[in-house]
Structure 1
Amino acid sequence: MRGYLTHAFNSGGTNYLRMAYCLALSIKRTQSAVNRLSVVVPAGQPLPDAYREAFDHVITVSDERPPHVDPAWRVDTFTRFYDLTPYAQTVTLDADMLFFDDVSSWWDDLAARDIVGGTAVTFRGEPIQDNPLRTDLYAAGLPDLHNGFLYFRAGAKAETLFAAMQRNQQDWVQAATRHFGRPDVPFSSDCAFLIALRDTGLEDEAVSVVPGCPRFVHMKACLQGWPHVPPTAREWRDYVDHSFDDELRLTIGGVRITDPFHYHVRDFVTDDLLAAYESAAYDARPRRRTATW
Protein backbone atom coordinates (compact mmCIF):
# COMPACT_ATOMS: atom_id res chain seq x y z
CA MET A 1 0.00 0.00 0.00
CA ARG A 2 1.09 3.55 -0.76
CA GLY A 3 0.44 6.61 1.36
CA TYR A 4 1.60 9.95 2.69
CA LEU A 5 2.95 10.47 6.20
CA THR A 6 3.47 13.63 8.24
CA HIS A 7 3.94 14.55 11.88
CA ALA A 8 2.15 17.19 13.90
CA PHE A 9 3.71 18.12 17.22
CA ASN A 10 2.15 21.43 18.29
CA SER A 11 4.94 23.65 19.53
CA GLY A 12 5.95 27.27 19.85
CA GLY A 13 2.29 28.30 19.83
CA THR A 14 1.77 26.74 16.39
CA ASN A 15 -1.03 24.27 15.72
CA TYR A 16 0.61 21.85 13.31
CA LEU A 17 -2.21 19.35 13.73
CA ARG A 18 -4.65 21.84 12.22
CA MET A 19 -2.27 22.32 9.28
CA ALA A 20 -1.94 18.56 8.82
CA TYR A 21 -5.74 18.27 8.80
CA CYS A 22 -6.00 20.83 6.00
CA LEU A 23 -3.22 19.00 4.14
CA ALA A 24 -5.21 15.77 4.42
CA LEU A 25 -8.29 17.47 3.00
CA SER A 26 -6.30 18.89 0.10
CA ILE A 27 -4.87 15.45 -0.69
CA LYS A 28 -8.31 13.85 -0.64
CA ARG A 29 -9.60 16.59 -2.91
CA THR A 30 -6.87 16.39 -5.55
CA GLN A 31 -5.32 12.92 -5.67
CA SER A 32 -6.91 10.26 -7.86
CA ALA A 33 -4.81 7.25 -6.87
CA VAL A 34 -3.06 7.78 -3.53
CA ASN A 35 -5.10 10.04 -1.26
CA ARG A 36 -4.22 8.63 2.16
CA LEU A 37 -2.39 10.73 4.77
CA SER A 38 -1.38 9.35 8.15
CA VAL A 39 -0.19 11.59 10.97
CA VAL A 40 2.20 11.07 13.87
CA VAL A 41 1.15 12.91 17.05
CA PRO A 42 2.30 12.92 20.67
CA ALA A 43 0.52 10.60 23.08
CA GLY A 44 -2.46 12.35 24.67
CA GLN A 45 -3.01 14.75 21.77
CA PRO A 46 -6.74 15.63 21.60
CA LEU A 47 -8.15 14.87 18.16
CA PRO A 48 -11.54 16.12 16.92
CA ASP A 49 -13.72 13.57 15.18
CA ALA A 50 -13.41 15.40 11.86
CA TYR A 51 -9.64 15.10 12.06
CA ARG A 52 -9.83 11.35 12.72
CA GLU A 53 -12.05 10.98 9.66
CA ALA A 54 -9.56 12.85 7.46
CA PHE A 55 -6.47 10.88 8.48
CA ASP A 56 -5.88 7.31 7.34
CA HIS A 57 -4.02 6.44 10.56
CA VAL A 58 -3.26 8.42 13.71
CA ILE A 59 0.02 7.18 15.15
CA THR A 60 0.92 8.18 18.70
CA VAL A 61 4.44 8.36 20.08
CA SER A 62 6.08 9.60 23.25
CA ASP A 63 6.43 13.37 23.58
CA GLU A 64 9.96 12.99 24.95
CA ARG A 65 12.31 15.45 23.21
CA PRO A 66 16.05 14.97 22.61
CA PRO A 67 17.97 17.73 24.45
CA HIS A 68 19.50 19.23 21.30
CA VAL A 69 16.14 19.68 19.54
CA ASP A 70 14.55 23.13 19.68
CA PRO A 71 11.22 22.74 21.55
CA ALA A 72 9.65 25.26 19.14
CA TRP A 73 10.66 23.15 16.14
CA ARG A 74 9.78 19.52 16.82
CA VAL A 75 11.26 17.68 13.83
CA ASP A 76 12.92 14.85 15.75
CA THR A 77 10.18 12.27 15.11
CA PHE A 78 11.05 12.28 11.41
CA THR A 79 14.00 9.95 11.99
CA ARG A 80 11.54 7.29 13.24
CA PHE A 81 9.29 7.34 10.18
CA TYR A 82 10.59 4.03 8.81
CA ASP A 83 9.34 2.24 11.93
CA LEU A 84 6.15 4.29 12.19
CA THR A 85 4.76 4.27 8.65
CA PRO A 86 1.79 1.98 7.99
CA TYR A 87 2.67 1.83 4.28
CA ALA A 88 4.97 -0.28 2.11
CA GLN A 89 5.70 2.83 0.02
CA THR A 90 5.69 6.18 1.82
CA VAL A 91 6.05 9.83 0.92
CA THR A 92 6.87 12.07 3.87
CA LEU A 93 5.46 15.58 3.92
CA ASP A 94 5.70 18.62 6.15
CA ALA A 95 2.41 19.49 7.82
CA ASP A 96 2.39 23.04 6.42
CA MET A 97 1.79 21.96 2.83
CA LEU A 98 -1.15 21.82 0.42
CA PHE A 99 -1.82 19.92 -2.84
CA PHE A 100 -3.56 21.58 -5.77
CA ASP A 101 -3.04 19.17 -8.70
CA ASP A 102 -2.95 15.41 -9.04
CA VAL A 103 0.58 13.99 -8.75
CA SER A 104 -0.52 10.35 -8.68
CA SER A 105 1.60 9.62 -11.78
CA TRP A 106 4.73 10.32 -9.74
CA TRP A 107 4.35 7.19 -7.64
CA ASP A 108 5.28 4.73 -10.38
CA ASP A 109 8.32 6.81 -11.30
CA LEU A 110 9.38 6.99 -7.66
CA ALA A 111 9.05 3.23 -7.28
CA ALA A 112 12.06 2.78 -9.60
CA ARG A 113 14.21 3.59 -6.55
CA ASP A 114 14.14 2.64 -2.87
CA ILE A 115 14.65 6.26 -1.73
CA VAL A 116 14.05 9.52 -3.61
CA GLY A 117 14.50 12.99 -2.14
CA GLY A 118 12.46 15.97 -3.27
CA THR A 119 13.66 18.97 -5.25
CA ALA A 120 12.60 22.46 -4.17
CA VAL A 121 11.43 25.07 -6.68
CA THR A 122 10.20 28.65 -6.54
CA PHE A 123 6.53 29.50 -6.96
CA ARG A 124 7.37 30.10 -10.64
CA GLY A 125 8.55 26.49 -10.92
CA GLU A 126 12.23 27.42 -11.24
CA PRO A 127 14.92 25.39 -9.47
CA ILE A 128 16.23 27.12 -6.34
CA GLN A 129 19.85 27.73 -7.23
CA ASP A 130 21.13 29.11 -3.96
CA ASN A 131 19.47 28.56 -0.61
CA PRO A 132 21.01 30.90 1.98
CA LEU A 133 19.73 28.59 4.72
CA ARG A 134 21.83 25.70 3.38
CA THR A 135 25.33 27.17 3.39
CA ASP A 136 26.64 24.47 5.74
CA LEU A 137 25.14 21.73 3.57
CA TYR A 138 26.62 23.23 0.41
CA ALA A 139 30.03 23.59 2.03
CA ALA A 140 29.94 19.91 2.97
CA GLY A 141 29.09 18.97 -0.61
CA LEU A 142 25.82 17.32 0.33
CA PRO A 143 23.11 16.85 -2.32
CA ASP A 144 20.47 19.57 -2.54
CA LEU A 145 17.59 17.25 -1.69
CA HIS A 146 14.74 17.71 0.78
CA ASN A 147 12.66 15.51 3.04
CA GLY A 148 9.66 17.82 2.61
CA PHE A 149 8.69 15.36 -0.13
CA LEU A 150 10.68 12.18 0.44
CA TYR A 151 9.78 8.79 -1.00
CA PHE A 152 10.97 5.54 0.55
CA ARG A 153 10.07 1.92 0.09
CA ALA A 154 10.20 -0.71 2.81
CA GLY A 155 13.45 -2.62 2.50
CA ALA A 156 17.07 -2.82 3.55
CA LYS A 157 18.18 0.49 2.01
CA ALA A 158 15.52 2.63 3.65
CA GLU A 159 15.88 0.80 6.95
CA THR A 160 19.63 1.42 6.89
CA LEU A 161 19.13 5.09 6.05
CA PHE A 162 16.70 5.75 8.88
CA ALA A 163 18.88 3.84 11.35
CA ALA A 164 21.76 6.15 10.40
CA MET A 165 19.51 9.18 10.93
CA GLN A 166 18.61 7.98 14.40
CA ARG A 167 22.26 7.42 15.32
CA ASN A 168 23.18 10.90 14.16
CA GLN A 169 20.26 12.42 16.04
CA GLN A 170 21.23 10.66 19.26
CA ASP A 171 24.76 12.11 19.10
CA TRP A 172 24.26 15.24 17.06
CA VAL A 173 27.36 17.03 18.33
CA GLN A 174 29.57 14.20 17.10
CA ALA A 175 27.68 13.94 13.79
CA ALA A 176 27.82 17.68 13.15
CA THR A 177 31.52 17.82 13.95
CA ARG A 178 32.26 14.90 11.66
CA HIS A 179 30.40 16.32 8.68
CA PHE A 180 30.69 20.08 9.12
CA GLY A 181 33.86 20.46 11.14
CA ARG A 182 32.13 22.10 14.09
CA PRO A 183 29.53 21.07 16.68
CA ASP A 184 27.20 24.09 16.56
CA VAL A 185 25.35 23.37 13.31
CA PRO A 186 21.66 23.26 14.32
CA PHE A 187 19.87 19.94 14.09
CA SER A 188 17.22 19.67 11.39
CA SER A 189 15.50 16.73 9.78
CA ASP A 190 16.89 17.75 6.37
CA CYS A 191 20.38 17.82 7.86
CA ALA A 192 19.93 14.41 9.49
CA PHE A 193 18.60 13.00 6.21
CA LEU A 194 21.42 14.31 4.03
CA ILE A 195 24.32 13.29 6.23
CA ALA A 196 22.73 9.85 6.66
CA LEU A 197 22.70 9.55 2.85
CA ARG A 198 26.43 10.16 2.90
CA ASP A 199 27.08 7.83 5.84
CA THR A 200 25.26 4.99 4.07
CA GLY A 201 26.56 5.64 0.54
CA LEU A 202 23.04 6.30 -0.72
CA GLU A 203 23.52 9.82 -2.10
CA ASP A 204 23.24 8.75 -5.74
CA GLU A 205 20.40 6.34 -4.95
CA ALA A 206 18.25 9.17 -3.61
CA VAL A 207 18.32 11.22 -6.82
CA SER A 208 15.24 10.63 -8.96
CA VAL A 209 15.61 8.89 -12.31
CA VAL A 210 12.98 11.31 -13.66
CA PRO A 211 14.05 14.99 -13.58
CA GLY A 212 11.62 17.15 -11.63
CA CYS A 213 9.91 14.23 -9.91
CA PRO A 214 9.24 14.80 -7.11
CA ARG A 215 9.36 18.51 -6.58
CA PHE A 216 7.55 21.00 -4.39
CA VAL A 217 7.27 24.76 -4.05
CA HIS A 218 9.48 25.94 -1.19
CA MET A 219 7.76 29.24 -0.47
CA LYS A 220 10.11 30.97 1.97
CA ALA A 221 10.56 34.55 0.78
CA CYS A 222 14.35 34.26 0.77
CA LEU A 223 14.21 31.46 -1.82
CA GLN A 224 12.16 33.19 -4.53
CA GLY A 225 14.98 35.14 -6.18
CA TRP A 226 13.54 38.50 -5.20
CA PRO A 227 16.01 41.37 -4.69
CA HIS A 228 16.54 42.97 -1.28
CA VAL A 229 14.99 40.12 0.69
CA PRO A 230 16.73 39.25 4.00
CA PRO A 231 18.51 35.88 3.80
CA THR A 232 16.28 34.27 6.42
CA ALA A 233 12.94 35.87 5.43
CA ARG A 234 9.93 33.54 5.45
CA GLU A 235 6.99 35.91 5.04
CA TRP A 236 6.45 35.84 1.27
CA ARG A 237 3.10 37.66 1.42
CA ASP A 238 5.02 40.91 1.97
CA TYR A 239 6.36 40.66 -1.57
CA VAL A 240 3.62 39.15 -3.75
CA ASP A 241 -0.15 38.83 -3.87
CA HIS A 242 -2.06 35.55 -3.78
CA SER A 243 -5.65 34.36 -4.12
CA PHE A 244 -7.78 31.23 -4.18
CA ASP A 245 -10.48 30.73 -6.77
CA ASP A 246 -13.84 28.99 -6.37
CA GLU A 247 -12.22 25.59 -6.95
CA LEU A 248 -9.58 26.15 -4.26
CA ARG A 249 -6.82 26.68 -6.81
CA LEU A 250 -4.03 28.99 -5.67
CA THR A 251 -2.50 31.76 -7.77
CA ILE A 252 0.58 33.68 -6.63
CA GLY A 253 1.78 36.73 -8.54
CA GLY A 254 -0.23 35.64 -11.57
CA VAL A 255 1.18 32.08 -11.50
CA ARG A 256 -1.15 29.17 -10.77
CA ILE A 257 0.47 26.73 -8.34
CA THR A 258 0.39 23.12 -9.51
CA ASP A 259 3.17 21.49 -7.47
CA PRO A 260 2.80 20.48 -3.81
CA PHE A 261 3.07 23.75 -1.92
CA HIS A 262 5.07 24.33 1.27
CA TYR A 263 3.63 27.62 2.47
CA HIS A 264 5.69 28.01 5.70
CA VAL A 265 3.83 30.99 7.17
CA ARG A 266 1.91 29.64 10.12
CA ASP A 267 -1.30 31.62 9.69
CA PHE A 268 -1.75 30.84 5.99
CA VAL A 269 -4.63 28.43 6.61
CA THR A 270 -7.28 30.82 7.85
CA ASP A 271 -10.58 29.73 9.37
CA ASP A 272 -12.31 30.61 6.10
CA LEU A 273 -9.87 28.60 4.01
CA LEU A 274 -10.16 25.58 6.27
CA ALA A 275 -13.95 25.83 6.19
CA ALA A 276 -13.83 25.90 2.39
CA TYR A 277 -11.73 22.73 2.34
CA GLU A 278 -14.13 21.06 4.78
CA SER A 279 -17.10 22.04 2.64
CA ALA A 280 -15.38 20.71 -0.49
CA ALA A 281 -14.44 17.46 1.22
CA TYR A 282 -17.66 16.64 3.01
CA ASP A 283 -20.26 18.24 0.74
CA ALA A 284 -18.48 17.04 -2.45
CA ARG A 285 -18.58 20.59 -3.77
CA PRO A 286 -16.27 23.58 -3.25
CA ARG A 287 -17.57 26.46 -1.23
CA ARG A 288 -17.92 29.44 -3.53
CA ARG A 289 -15.78 32.32 -2.41
CA THR A 290 -14.72 35.54 -4.00
CA ALA A 291 -12.55 36.87 -1.21
CA THR A 292 -8.77 36.61 -1.17
CA TRP A 293 -7.90 34.38 1.80
Structure 2
Amino acid sequence: MSRGFLWFAQNNNTTDYAALSIALAKSIKKNCKINSVCVVVDEHTKIQSEYVDTVIVLKQDHSENQSLKFANEYKAFKLSPFTHTIKLEADMLFTADTDWWWNYLGQHDLVFAVNCRNYQDNVIKKTPYRKLFHQNNLSDVYNGLTYFRRSERAMQFFKLCRDITENWTQVKNELLINCHEQYPSTDIVYALAYRIMDPLQLHLIDYPWFKFIHGKSEINGVENSTDQYNYLNPISIDDRIYVGGRRLNRIWHYHNKKMIDILNDRIF
Protein backbone atom coordinates (compact mmCIF):
# COMPACT_ATOMS: atom_id res chain seq x y z
CA MET A 1 0.00 0.00 0.00
CA SER A 2 1.36 3.42 -0.98
CA ARG A 3 0.12 6.87 -0.05
CA GLY A 4 1.05 10.21 -1.49
CA PHE A 5 0.18 13.58 -2.95
CA LEU A 6 -0.31 14.36 -6.64
CA TRP A 7 -1.00 17.49 -8.65
CA PHE A 8 -0.58 18.90 -12.15
CA ALA A 9 1.87 21.67 -13.06
CA GLN A 10 1.81 23.19 -16.53
CA ASN A 11 3.50 26.53 -16.98
CA ASN A 12 1.74 29.22 -18.99
CA ASN A 13 2.60 32.74 -20.10
CA THR A 14 1.98 34.21 -16.66
CA THR A 15 2.77 31.58 -14.04
CA ASP A 16 5.72 29.35 -13.19
CA TYR A 17 3.82 26.38 -11.78
CA ALA A 18 7.06 24.43 -11.43
CA ALA A 19 8.31 26.93 -8.84
CA LEU A 20 4.97 26.85 -7.02
CA SER A 21 5.10 23.05 -7.03
CA ILE A 22 8.52 23.00 -5.41
CA ALA A 23 7.30 25.35 -2.67
CA LEU A 24 4.27 23.12 -2.05
CA ALA A 25 6.37 19.94 -2.02
CA LYS A 26 8.80 21.54 0.43
CA SER A 27 5.94 22.43 2.78
CA ILE A 28 4.64 18.85 2.63
CA LYS A 29 8.06 17.41 3.44
CA LYS A 30 8.44 19.82 6.34
CA ASN A 31 5.07 19.10 7.95
CA CYS A 32 4.30 15.46 7.15
CA LYS A 33 6.02 12.10 7.56
CA ILE A 34 3.79 10.55 4.91
CA ASN A 35 5.06 12.89 2.25
CA SER A 36 5.59 11.20 -1.12
CA VAL A 37 5.04 13.73 -3.90
CA CYS A 38 4.22 13.18 -7.56
CA VAL A 39 3.85 16.07 -10.00
CA VAL A 40 2.41 15.65 -13.50
CA VAL A 41 3.89 18.03 -16.08
CA ASP A 42 3.96 18.64 -19.82
CA GLU A 43 7.13 18.48 -21.88
CA HIS A 44 7.68 22.24 -21.52
CA THR A 45 7.51 22.31 -17.71
CA LYS A 46 10.71 21.16 -16.02
CA ILE A 47 10.91 20.26 -12.33
CA GLN A 48 14.09 19.18 -10.58
CA SER A 49 13.91 19.25 -6.82
CA GLU A 50 14.87 17.15 -3.84
CA TYR A 51 11.34 17.69 -2.53
CA VAL A 52 9.59 16.10 -5.52
CA ASP A 53 9.85 12.31 -5.58
CA THR A 54 8.27 11.56 -8.94
CA VAL A 55 7.74 13.64 -12.07
CA ILE A 56 5.43 12.22 -14.73
CA VAL A 57 5.49 13.79 -18.19
CA LEU A 58 2.18 13.68 -20.03
CA LYS A 59 2.32 11.52 -23.14
CA GLN A 60 -0.43 13.61 -24.69
CA ASP A 61 -1.24 17.13 -23.57
CA HIS A 62 -4.93 17.80 -24.16
CA SER A 63 -4.56 21.41 -23.03
CA GLU A 64 -1.55 22.23 -25.20
CA ASN A 65 -3.38 24.96 -27.12
CA GLN A 66 -5.40 26.24 -24.18
CA SER A 67 -4.45 29.11 -21.90
CA LEU A 68 -6.13 27.44 -18.90
CA LYS A 69 -4.65 23.99 -18.35
CA PHE A 70 -7.67 22.01 -17.15
CA ALA A 71 -8.03 19.35 -19.82
CA ASN A 72 -5.60 16.78 -18.37
CA GLU A 73 -6.82 16.68 -14.78
CA TYR A 74 -9.18 13.75 -15.29
CA LYS A 75 -6.04 11.64 -15.79
CA ALA A 76 -5.16 11.83 -12.09
CA PHE A 77 -6.54 8.36 -11.34
CA LYS A 78 -4.70 6.68 -14.20
CA LEU A 79 -1.39 8.48 -13.63
CA SER A 80 -1.13 8.32 -9.86
CA PRO A 81 1.61 5.92 -8.70
CA PHE A 82 -0.10 5.59 -5.30
CA THR A 83 -2.75 3.23 -3.96
CA HIS A 84 -4.13 6.11 -1.90
CA THR A 85 -3.85 9.60 -3.39
CA ILE A 86 -4.59 13.11 -2.20
CA LYS A 87 -4.88 15.39 -5.22
CA LEU A 88 -3.90 19.02 -4.72
CA GLU A 89 -3.30 22.16 -6.77
CA ALA A 90 0.11 23.72 -7.24
CA ASP A 91 -0.78 27.07 -5.65
CA MET A 92 -1.09 25.68 -2.13
CA LEU A 93 1.03 25.40 1.00
CA PHE A 94 0.86 22.98 3.93
CA THR A 95 1.01 24.55 7.38
CA ALA A 96 0.34 21.49 9.57
CA ASP A 97 0.74 17.72 9.84
CA THR A 98 -1.90 15.74 7.90
CA ASP A 99 -0.58 12.22 8.52
CA TRP A 100 -3.60 11.30 10.64
CA TRP A 101 -5.94 12.02 7.74
CA TRP A 102 -5.04 8.80 5.97
CA ASN A 103 -6.62 6.60 8.68
CA TYR A 104 -10.00 8.18 7.94
CA LEU A 105 -9.68 8.71 4.20
CA GLY A 106 -8.53 5.14 3.56
CA GLN A 107 -11.94 3.84 4.58
CA HIS A 108 -13.52 5.42 1.49
CA ASP A 109 -13.18 5.42 -2.28
CA LEU A 110 -13.66 9.16 -2.80
CA VAL A 111 -13.57 12.13 -0.46
CA PHE A 112 -13.81 15.76 -1.57
CA ALA A 113 -13.27 19.04 0.19
CA VAL A 114 -16.87 20.22 0.52
CA ASN A 115 -17.00 24.01 0.95
CA CYS A 116 -13.85 25.88 1.98
CA ARG A 117 -12.66 28.03 4.87
CA ASN A 118 -11.61 31.65 5.13
CA TYR A 119 -8.50 32.92 6.88
CA GLN A 120 -10.50 33.14 10.13
CA ASP A 121 -11.17 29.38 9.83
CA ASN A 122 -14.90 29.81 9.23
CA VAL A 123 -16.58 27.38 6.82
CA ILE A 124 -17.85 29.25 3.75
CA LYS A 125 -20.76 27.47 2.10
CA LYS A 126 -21.81 30.02 -0.48
CA THR A 127 -19.54 32.27 -2.50
CA PRO A 128 -20.21 34.63 -5.42
CA TYR A 129 -17.68 32.63 -7.40
CA ARG A 130 -19.97 29.59 -7.49
CA LYS A 131 -23.33 30.84 -8.69
CA LEU A 132 -23.26 28.19 -11.42
CA PHE A 133 -23.02 25.46 -8.79
CA HIS A 134 -26.14 26.69 -7.02
CA GLN A 135 -28.09 27.21 -10.25
CA ASN A 136 -27.32 23.65 -11.34
CA ASN A 137 -27.69 22.04 -7.90
CA LEU A 138 -24.10 20.83 -7.92
CA SER A 139 -22.23 19.84 -4.79
CA ASP A 140 -19.85 22.52 -3.52
CA VAL A 141 -16.79 20.33 -3.98
CA TYR A 142 -13.22 21.47 -4.65
CA ASN A 143 -10.90 19.42 -6.83
CA GLY A 144 -7.92 21.07 -5.14
CA LEU A 145 -8.31 18.77 -2.15
CA THR A 146 -9.56 15.36 -3.22
CA TYR A 147 -8.78 11.89 -1.92
CA PHE A 148 -9.21 8.73 -3.99
CA ARG A 149 -8.03 5.16 -3.69
CA ARG A 150 -7.62 2.56 -6.38
CA SER A 151 -11.17 1.25 -6.56
CA GLU A 152 -13.96 0.63 -9.04
CA ARG A 153 -15.95 3.61 -7.79
CA ALA A 154 -13.06 6.04 -8.10
CA MET A 155 -12.26 4.71 -11.57
CA GLN A 156 -15.87 5.26 -12.67
CA PHE A 157 -15.79 8.80 -11.31
CA PHE A 158 -12.69 9.71 -13.30
CA LYS A 159 -14.12 8.08 -16.43
CA LEU A 160 -17.08 10.41 -16.08
CA CYS A 161 -14.67 13.32 -15.67
CA ARG A 162 -12.94 12.25 -18.88
CA ASP A 163 -16.22 12.07 -20.80
CA ILE A 164 -17.32 15.49 -19.55
CA THR A 165 -13.96 17.04 -20.40
CA GLU A 166 -13.74 15.54 -23.87
CA ASN A 167 -17.29 16.63 -24.72
CA TRP A 168 -17.20 19.96 -22.95
CA THR A 169 -18.97 22.10 -25.55
CA GLN A 170 -21.95 19.76 -25.69
CA VAL A 171 -21.98 19.31 -21.91
CA LYS A 172 -22.02 23.02 -21.07
CA ASN A 173 -24.71 23.73 -23.67
CA GLU A 174 -27.01 20.79 -22.93
CA LEU A 175 -26.43 19.71 -19.33
CA LEU A 176 -25.65 22.94 -17.50
CA ILE A 177 -27.55 26.19 -17.00
CA ASN A 178 -25.75 29.48 -17.67
CA CYS A 179 -22.35 27.88 -18.14
CA HIS A 180 -20.09 30.09 -20.23
CA GLU A 181 -16.75 28.50 -19.37
CA GLN A 182 -14.66 28.17 -22.51
CA TYR A 183 -12.57 25.40 -20.99
CA PRO A 184 -13.69 22.56 -18.68
CA SER A 185 -13.07 23.94 -15.19
CA THR A 186 -12.01 21.00 -13.04
CA ASP A 187 -14.24 22.03 -10.13
CA ILE A 188 -17.30 22.04 -12.41
CA VAL A 189 -16.27 18.76 -14.03
CA TYR A 190 -15.87 17.10 -10.63
CA ALA A 191 -19.17 18.45 -9.33
CA LEU A 192 -21.13 17.37 -12.40
CA ALA A 193 -19.50 13.93 -12.48
CA TYR A 194 -20.39 13.40 -8.84
CA ARG A 195 -23.95 14.61 -9.42
CA ILE A 196 -24.32 11.96 -12.13
CA MET A 197 -22.88 9.25 -9.86
CA ASP A 198 -24.81 10.23 -6.76
CA PRO A 199 -27.84 12.34 -7.80
CA LEU A 200 -29.19 12.70 -4.26
CA GLN A 201 -25.74 13.14 -2.74
CA LEU A 202 -26.45 10.34 -0.30
CA HIS A 203 -22.83 9.19 -0.21
CA LEU A 204 -21.07 12.56 -0.21
CA ILE A 205 -18.60 12.62 2.68
CA ASP A 206 -18.09 16.00 4.32
CA TYR A 207 -15.27 15.90 6.85
CA PRO A 208 -14.97 19.25 8.68
CA TRP A 209 -11.17 18.95 8.74
CA PHE A 210 -10.82 18.04 5.04
CA LYS A 211 -11.08 21.62 3.79
CA PHE A 212 -8.52 24.21 2.79
CA ILE A 213 -8.27 27.91 3.51
CA HIS A 214 -9.10 29.82 0.34
CA GLY A 215 -7.32 33.01 -0.63
CA LYS A 216 -9.97 34.69 -2.79
CA SER A 217 -11.02 38.13 -1.62
CA GLU A 218 -14.80 37.73 -1.25
CA ILE A 219 -14.37 34.50 0.68
CA ASN A 220 -12.27 36.46 3.16
CA GLY A 221 -14.56 39.49 3.28
CA VAL A 222 -12.00 41.92 1.90
CA GLU A 223 -13.44 42.43 -1.58
CA ASN A 224 -13.58 46.20 -1.01
CA SER A 225 -9.85 46.41 -0.36
CA THR A 226 -7.78 47.52 -3.33
CA ASP A 227 -5.01 45.14 -2.26
CA GLN A 228 -6.20 42.35 0.01
CA TYR A 229 -2.73 40.88 0.43
CA ASN A 230 -1.38 44.08 1.93
CA TYR A 231 -4.58 44.46 3.94
CA LEU A 232 -4.29 40.94 5.42
CA ASN A 233 -0.48 41.14 5.46
CA PRO A 234 0.48 37.48 4.93
CA ILE A 235 3.88 36.82 6.50
CA SER A 236 6.14 33.88 7.30
CA ILE A 237 7.79 33.74 10.73
CA ASP A 238 9.97 30.73 11.60
CA ASP A 239 8.23 28.69 8.87
CA ARG A 240 4.82 29.58 10.29
CA ILE A 241 2.38 31.48 8.09
CA TYR A 242 0.16 34.26 9.37
CA VAL A 243 -2.69 35.91 7.45
CA GLY A 244 -4.63 38.78 8.96
CA GLY A 245 -2.70 38.25 12.18
CA ARG A 246 -3.86 34.63 12.48
CA ARG A 247 -1.59 31.64 12.28
CA LEU A 248 -2.74 29.19 9.61
CA ASN A 249 -3.08 25.53 10.62
CA ARG A 250 -4.61 24.11 7.48
CA ILE A 251 -3.72 23.77 3.82
CA TRP A 252 -3.69 27.25 2.31
CA HIS A 253 -4.87 27.72 -1.26
CA TYR A 254 -3.40 31.18 -1.61
CA HIS A 255 -4.59 31.65 -5.22
CA ASN A 256 -2.40 34.71 -5.89
CA LYS A 257 0.40 33.20 -7.96
CA LYS A 258 2.86 35.83 -6.65
CA MET A 259 2.31 34.76 -3.04
CA ILE A 260 5.55 32.79 -2.66
CA ASP A 261 7.50 35.92 -3.65
CA ILE A 262 5.37 38.02 -1.29
CA LEU A 263 6.09 35.66 1.61
CA ASN A 264 9.80 35.47 0.82
CA ASP A 265 9.99 39.26 0.87
CA ARG A 266 8.38 39.30 4.32
CA ILE A 267 10.29 36.55 6.12
CA PHE A 268 11.10 37.49 9.71
- The alignment's TM-score, normalised by the length of structure 1, stands at 0.83
Q: Deviations over 1:97-149 (max 9, x none)?
A: 00011011111111222101013100111011321111011111111111111
Contact 1:128 1:224 in 2 (8 A): no
Contact 2:7 2:39 in 1 (8 A): yes
Asked whether 1:40 is paired with 2:31, we answer no
Residue 241 of structure 1 corresponds to which residue in structure 2? 233
The gaps in structure 1 that reach 5 residues or longer are: 274-288
- Please show how residues 75-94 of structure 1 align to structure 2 within 5 Å: 75-94=70-89
The gaps in structure 2 that reach 5 residues or longer are: none
Contact 2:63 2:70 in 1 (8 A): no
The 3-state SS of whatever aligns with 1:167 is: helix
Distance 1:227 1:66, change over 3 A: closer
Contact 1:124 1:255 in 2 (8 A): yes
Contact 1:122 1:218 in 2 (8 A): yes
**Number of residues paired by the alignment?**
264
Query: Which of these residues, 51, 73, 78, is aligned with residue 54 of structure 1?
Result: 51
Contact 1:179 1:195 in 2 (8 A): no
The 3-state SS of whatever aligns with 1:72 is: coil
- Please show how residues 105-254 of structure 1 align to structure 2 within 5 Å: 105-119=100-114, 120-182=116-178, 184-186=180-182, 187-201=184-198, 203-208=201-206, 211-226=207-222, 228=224, 236-246=228-238, 248-254=239-245
Give the partner amino acid of 2:205. V
The 3-state SS of whatever aligns with 1:123 is: coil
- Give the Å deviation of 1:66: 4.7
Residue 96 of structure 1 corresponds to which residue in structure 2? 91
The percent identity for this pair of structures is 25
Regions of 4+ moved over 4 Å: none
The 3-state SS of whatever aligns with 2:14 is: coil
